[in-house]
Structure 1
Amino acid sequence: MGICCSKGEEDQELEDEEGGFPWKHDAFFHRQLWRAGISMHTKQGWKGANQDAMTTCQDFAGHKGQIFCGVFDGHGPLGREVARHVCDALPTKLSSSLTLKTEEDPSSNTALDPSNKPDHTSLSDASDEKQLLSTWKNIFVKTFEEVDEELRQHSGIDCICSGTTAVTVVRQGDHLIIANLGDSRAVLCTWDSKDRPFAVQLTTDLKPDLPSEAERILSCKGRVFAMDDEPNVQRLWLPDQDAPGLAMTRAFGDFCLKSHGLICTPEVYYRKLSEKDEFLVLASDGIWDVLSNKEVMKIVSSATDQSKAAKQVVERAVRAWRRKFPTSMVDDCAVVCLFLKPAPSEESRSTGAVHGDAKAKPQAPESFTDSFRKALGDGGGGGGEAADEGTAAPWKALEGVARVNSVVRLPRMGAVLTWRRRSASLEQDDED
């Protein structure tokens, strides 16, 4: 279904020996990514296993040239497993939903893919864009809810106090549809009327300090307040316990809070691309906590090798963490750069061929898996880079709380059992 990564027996051996991502050693994989105009990179922080995940799929949902990208930031004791599960399940289920909708209502394909409209139809009309956004929003919201429900029933992952954010994008010709859940972010680099580059933040960080989000939480008897040692970070808490202290208001999982204001409904955004738009950056909050939108834009736009732009953003963020928060642990970082007008690859330049030139020799098709989870392996494996991060360590508590997505105090066992009984009772009522 897409360009992600492949893993054979040799890759698995490499992963086991070095505790890292096998795809980092796969030059062919990176060439394939760059042919799609994509640069991606992740780095494990100092908190334990890398809980960030990312994926990208080319020719998404069977539409030629359609691209799906996503970044997922897990949190809590099993955040790594939650992020990987959603990273796999979401694009697969979204693709199935798109295919099913088209089969049930062939006329809906026009709304999903405006490029199929007659040439005389103007896609810049507000009504067309509104219809496109409405159609995609319904699909995204339904798919996110289905994935969350599937996660709730997953017997192998305890998601009571673990979850993941998600920021995803579908590029369909000159249309971008972005769905955001939590505090990861999508930022677009474009040019103003004076031909100066500037950053446009396409999503809103959905945190407890947003008045609308806080109002919903309080109406559901959840609590919002900051801890004494981090007065600038508002958190979401249970009504009667100082737990789990979530730093976002929307996420997959975290079912102990789903009755107290936390939701899995994404905010969906639309943008019609123009010739002035250069690239899109999706990244987890490990990037945005220390780098501004403008700084990230400058790093990517100044990269001499754009295929390594995501890695340069991550490396700059790690240095910024050490400088700005010397007493805090560096957070996990994940970045996906989607170049809207990709430059020729090194291979193409060396042969004098232009990227996408019809005269270039076609490459033999290769098979790819659908997410980075398969590249990392289902076992212990590695959550970080092979060269400089070592093997993945289990999730662990911080000594003191600073710049983390959820505090380490979990609900008392009695409360957990009460939550499970309440969930079982609700399921029984639904069945009745």
Structure 2
Amino acid sequence: MGICCSKAAAGPGELDDDDGFPWKHDDLFHEQLWTSAGVSLHTKQGWKGANQDAMTVCQDFADQKGQIFCGVFDGHGPLGREVARHVRDTLPSKLSSYLKPKTEDLSSSSDLDSFDKSDSTSFSDMSDENQLLSTWKNMFVKTFEDVDQELRQHSGIDCICSGTTAVTVVRQGDNLMIANLGDSRAVLCTRDSKDRLSPVQLTTDLKPDLPSEAARILSCKGRVFAMDDEPDVPRLWLPDQDAPGLAMARAFGDFCLKDHGLICTPEVYYRKLSEKDEFLVLATDGIWDVLSNKEVIKIVSSVSDPSKASKQLIDRAVRAWRRKFPTSMVDDCAAICLFLNRDSSEESLPGAADAKPSAVSSSFTGSFRKVLSRREASSSEEEGTTAWRALQGVARVNSVVRLPRIGAVLSWRRRSASLDEDEDDQD
């Protein structure tokens, strides 16, 4: 299902796996999550097989009260589901470990007030004097690179042609730090000068045909082109093989392409929040492929029960898929809605005040383990499919295409291993 919620950035062992987790059917779960964090989240399996999207929300992140981490991850390839879940479980704890020694300085520094931007600003565009925000960028980049290196060495997950995107955010008071890898997206809903709701896209969809991305790929002898039956979907290909056809320029995993332009370095952005900023939406491309930024904020802002905002958003996206692409398989969808100026005393759900505090202060997944056994069989029947099935269907809705022809890539892998062995022998 791809959801993992914890009170803090716990270690990988505490971020429980959630096969068959029935959270989406449990109103109490959503009430508690809404009451404690002002967060709504939901995911829905598409028509391609097992749901390869994953999500996480960590409250009191890095042991700082009120600090929150959110992330959505969109897996692709034969083992994309496993890659997305592994990154979901390891990235928050690793970032937290880097952040904890610096948190006191980050929290107490008044320099943050000097970075009041009307729009999101890339760290890479800031001057050297903005050392504090550069530190955030360094932590994100280091974390992403370390997680990617762990994936390369992971004996249980073959990531040669599997990977995941990631869009993550850390909210620290009025400061929003966003790290994006791939083509998921973060969109902020704010109010303009006339008090009208307006979307602000905080991240860039890192597609292979972006000029800067394409230049890097081509310099590494990778190729970028779209297939004839989907001319609007540029893909990344190996130098001499029409594979794997990756629909993004940055990702975790996909090591067959890491020497040909694919990188795991996130783009990092900063936003100084104001009272005009209403909520933030993090979502995988299953949402953005069929709904505009304006449509998304209109849907979320119009829901009567904010704790179910993400579910209604995904339901609307699924209907849009069926209408706009009737011959395509609906993609997996995952969304997190983080409400920024919520007054918990006025907006908490009816009955939420009666929720037991202990249920919120620990991992949400633990309180539902009793029902897993009852639903595990039906869940496995719904999602029980080979990883290859997730790559079948109309190419537009696949992050990777033509993988059944990946024999050449596997041959490349054997050649690469052989070359490594030859180099070791020479040494």
Which TM-score applies when normalising by structure 2?
Answer: 0.84
Match of 1:414 in 2: 411
Specify whether residues 306 and 128 from structure 1 end up closer, same or farther in structure 2 by C-alpha distance, changes over 3 A only: farther
Match of 2:358 in 1: 364
Whether the 8 Å CA contact 2:22–2:372 is kept in 1: the answer is no
Deviations 1:31-90 (Å, cap 9, x if unpaired)? 221020000000000111000000000000001100000000000000000000000000
Whether the 8 Å CA contact 1:178–1:270 is kept in 2: the answer is yes
Identity rate of aligned residues, in percent?
67
Q: Matched residue of 2:357: which SS?
A: coil
Specify whether residues 351 and 90 from structure 1 end up closer, same or farther in structure 2 by C-alpha distance, changes over 3 A only: closer
Structure 2: distance between partners of 1:238 and 1:371? 41
Specify whether residues 129 and 277 from structure 1 end up closer, same or farther in structure 2 by C-alpha distance, changes over 3 A only: farther
Q: Matched residue of 1:227: which SS?
A: coil
Whether the 8 Å CA contact 1:161–1:255 is kept in 2: the answer is yes
Match of 1:222 in 2: 222
> Which structure 2 residues correspond to residues 384-399 of structure 1 after superposition, within 5 A?
390-395=382-387, 396=389, 397-399=391-393
Deviations 1:320-351 (Å, cap 9, x if unpaired)? 01111111100000000000022548995657
Match of 2:153 in 1: 153
Specify whether residues 87 and 32 from structure 1 end up closer, same or farther in structure 2 by C-alpha distance, changes over 3 A only: same
Whether the 8 Å CA contact 1:244–1:411 is kept in 2: the answer is no
Amino acid at match of 1:80: R
Structure 1: distance between partners of 2:62 and 2:189? 26
Specify whether residues 61 and 425 from structure 1 end up closer, same or farther in structure 2 by C-alpha distance, changes over 3 A only: farther
Specify whether residues 364 and 425 from structure 1 end up closer, same or farther in structure 2 by C-alpha distance, changes over 3 A only: farther
Q: What displacement does 1:98 show?
A: 1.1
Structure 1: distance between partners of 2:243 and 2:129? 42
Amino acid at match of 1:57: C
Amino acid at match of 1:56: V
Match of 1:168 in 2: 168
Whether the 8 Å CA contact 1:309–1:337 is kept in 2: the answer is yes
Match of 1:105 in 2: none
Match of 2:318 in 1: 318
Amino acid at match of 1:139: M
Specify whether residues 181 and 194 from structure 1 end up closer, same or farther in structure 2 by C-alpha distance, changes over 3 A only: same
Q: Which has the higher helix share?
A: 2
Of structures 1 and 2, the one with the larger relative CO (CA 8 A, separation 6+) is 1
Amino acid at match of 2:47: W
Q: What displacement does 1:23 show?
A: 2.0
Q: What displacement does 1:417 show?
A: 1.0
Q: What displacement does 1:124 show?
A: 2.6
Q: Matched residue of 2:135: which SS?
A: helix
Structure 2: distance between partners of 1:27 and 1:69? 21
Q: Does 1:2 align with 2:38?
A: no
Q: Matched residue of 1:168: which SS?
A: strand
Specify whether residues 320 and 400 from structure 1 end up closer, same or farther in structure 2 by C-alpha distance, changes over 3 A only: closer
Structure 1: distance between partners of 2:421 and 2:187? 41
Q: Matched residue of 2:397: which SS?
A: coil
Specify whether residues 287 and 421 from structure 1 end up closer, same or farther in structure 2 by C-alpha distance, changes over 3 A only: farther
Q: Does 1:91 align with 2:85?
A: no
Specify whether residues 130 and 398 from structure 1 end up closer, same or farther in structure 2 by C-alpha distance, changes over 3 A only: same
Q: What displacement does 1:401 show?
A: 2.0
Deviations 1:390-426 (Å, cap 9, x if unpaired)? 3342221324522211103224232121233456678
Specify whether residues 117 and 49 from structure 1 end up closer, same or farther in structure 2 by C-alpha distance, changes over 3 A only: same
Q: What displacement does 1:26 show?
A: 3.9
Structure 1: distance between partners of 2:234 and 2:415? 26
Specify whether residues 370 and 4 from structure 1 end up closer, same or farther in structure 2 by C-alpha distance, changes over 3 A only: farther
Amino acid at match of 1:220: C
Structure 2: distance between partners of 1:201 and 1:247? 20
Structure 2: distance between partners of 1:56 and 1:332? 19
Match of 1:72 in 2: 73
Match of 1:405 in 2: 399
Unpaired stretches in structure 2, ≥5 consecutive residues: 11-15, 117-126
Amino acid at match of 1:330: V
Whether the 8 Å CA contact 2:32–2:352 is kept in 1: the answer is no
Whether the 8 Å CA contact 2:61–2:67 is kept in 1: the answer is yes
Amino acid at match of 1:90: L
Structure 2: distance between partners of 1:423 and 1:31? 54
Q: What displacement does 1:361 show?
A: 9.8
Q: What displacement does 1:262 show?
A: 0.1
Amino acid at match of 1:48: G
Match of 2:123 in 1: none
Deviations 1:219-242 (Å, cap 9, x if unpaired)? 000001111111111100000100
Structure 2: distance between partners of 1:81 and 1:382? 18
Structure 2: distance between partners of 1:204 and 1:248? 11
Match of 1:199 in 2: 199
Structure 1: distance between partners of 2:229 and 2:193? 45
Specify whether residues 364 and 145 from structure 1 end up closer, same or farther in structure 2 by C-alpha distance, changes over 3 A only: same
Amino acid at match of 2:6: G
Structure 2: distance between partners of 1:352 and 1:394? 40
Amino acid at match of 1:162: S
Structure 2: distance between partners of 1:411 and 1:297? 44
Match of 2:113 in 1: 123
Amino acid at match of 2:271: R
Whether the 8 Å CA contact 1:243–1:407 is kept in 2: the answer is yes
Deviations 1:99-154 (Å, cap 9, x if unpaired)? 2x43xxxxx732x22xx246xx6713578993332010000000000000000000
Match of 2:259 in 1: 259
Specify whether residues 52 and 352 from structure 1 end up closer, same or farther in structure 2 by C-alpha distance, changes over 3 A only: closer
Specify whether residues 422 and 31 from structure 1 end up closer, same or farther in structure 2 by C-alpha distance, changes over 3 A only: farther
Structure 2: distance between partners of 1:312 and 1:230? 29
Amino acid at match of 2:94: K
Aligned residues: 397
Specify whether residues 241 and 135 from structure 1 end up closer, same or farther in structure 2 by C-alpha distance, changes over 3 A only: same
Q: Matched residue of 1:200: which SS?
A: strand
Q: Matched residue of 1:229: which SS?
A: coil
Specify whether residues 125 and 318 from structure 1 end up closer, same or farther in structure 2 by C-alpha distance, changes over 3 A only: closer
